[in-house]
Amino acid sequence: MTDGLTLFDRAALARNRARAAETLAEADFLLAEAADGLASRLLPIARDFPLALDLGAHDGQLGRAALATGKIGTLISAEGCRPLLSRLSAPRLALDEEALPIRDESLDLVLSSLTLQWVNDLPGTLIQIRRALRPDGLFMAAIIGGESLKELREAFIAAETEILGGISPRVAPFVEIRDAGALLQRAGFALPVVDADTLTVRYGEPFALLRDLKHMGWSNALTDRARTPMRRDVLVRAMELYAERNADPDRRLRATFEFIYLLGWAPDESQQKPLMPGSARMRLADALGTKEHSAGERAGTREDPDRG
């Protein structure tokens, strides 16, 4: 997700998402969570947005939630996965999130849900989004944060180290909350704010988590991944370690998903003076006038209904 680093194999990611288009509805709980989170953060903002873009629309959950706020005139659903794009309501747009075909200063609002964490040059994409916004236009996004799937990452590392004496990248290194505000500032957004929340999902057995990830199109698409299937003994040992280390008293297994919510405005003379560099890592709740929190503190952890 940094300049000059091809972290993700975008062709492999596209194949994973195309295969998962038929099964996404079976594991869309993270999209629902992010859509609700973004819509609830959009609702208190005291202005309307005549033209908005849903960047990486998936199955349209975010678009429907955003339109329900009554703040959007026209919403364009943009999606790079053709099977998903064909199911979205018009107007819709096919695009690659790494090269946005959008005129400068043409949009009032850009929303994005659980898409931008798969972009190789995230600062570059954020700059393109900022340029696409009219002065005082708004960008809001939810991305998967660095705490996500930490249990699965640790189980794979331990199993491969124990059996093979080394490791292969299995779980993507997502953005850390401490870096998110700096990314917005670097891209030229005014008044950037960041908020984070954590969702704990529980499973009856670890293979159910792997099925959910596959159904979401989140199979391993790292450029440096091993190109051969994982050995069965390594996979079995990883799942054993996962169960040993992450079981609740009722034997159900925890899986962590961190959501980082980003907000930034396209600069405009009417805006208040920006904060000093490094001080923008505040909670989104601060900007909306709710309870104050420190920059690194999580908004809270809750449990999703049991899965698997």
pLDDT digit string (tens) for 162-212?
Answer: 999 877 777 777 889 989 999 999 999 999 999 999 999 999 999 999 999
Given CA atoms 41, 74, 59, 172 in this order, what sign does their dihedral have? negative
Whole-number average pLDDT of the chain: 88
Give the HSE-up count for residue 254: Cα atoms under 13 Å, Cβ half-sphere: 20
Question: Among 62-71, 141-150, 213-222, 297-306, whose mean pLDDT is lowest?
Answer: 297-306
CA 14 to chain centre: 16
Question: Among 4-8, 66-70, 119-123, 216-220, whose mean pLDDT is lowest?
Answer: 4-8
Q: What angle do CA 190, 175, 173 make, to 5 degrees?
A: 160
Total residues found in the chain within this entry: 308
Give the type of residue at 107.
Answer: L
Given CA atoms 181, 257, 214, 6 in this order, what sign does their dihedral have? positive
54-82 pLDDT tens trace: 999 999 999 999 999 999 999 999 999 99
Question: Among 4-8, 212-216, 273-277, 297-301, whose mean pLDDT is lowest?
Answer: 297-301
pLDDT at residue number 167: 73
CA 299 to chain centre: 16
Strand partners, 260: 143, 196
pLDDT at residue number 236: 96
* Cβ atoms 98, 10 nearer than 8 A: yes
Given CA atoms 56, 59, 61, 66 in this order, what sign does their dihedral have? positive
pLDDT at residue number 292: 34
Fold topology of 10-148+173-202+255-302 = Rossmann fold (3.40.50)
pLDDT at residue number 275: 54
* Cβ atoms 152, 146 nearer than 8 A: no
* Cβ atoms 104, 132 nearer than 8 A: yes
43-57 pLDDT tens trace: 999 999 999 999 999
Whether the per-residue pLDDT at 291 is higher than 50: the answer is: no
pLDDT at residue number 168: 75
* Cβ atoms 156, 171 nearer than 8 A: yes
15-24 pLDDT tens trace: 999 999 999 9
> pTM value?
0.85
- Rounded mean pLDDT of 224-233? 83
- Rg from Cα positions in the chain: 19
Share of the chain above pLDDT 70, in %: 87
pLDDT at residue number 306: 75
* Cβ atoms 54, 66 nearer than 8 A: yes
| pLDDT band at 289; cut points 50, 70, 90 | very low
* Cβ atoms 86, 112 nearer than 8 A: no
pLDDT at residue number 274: 52
In the chain, domain spans: 10-148+173-202+255-302
- Rounded mean pLDDT of 255-275? 88
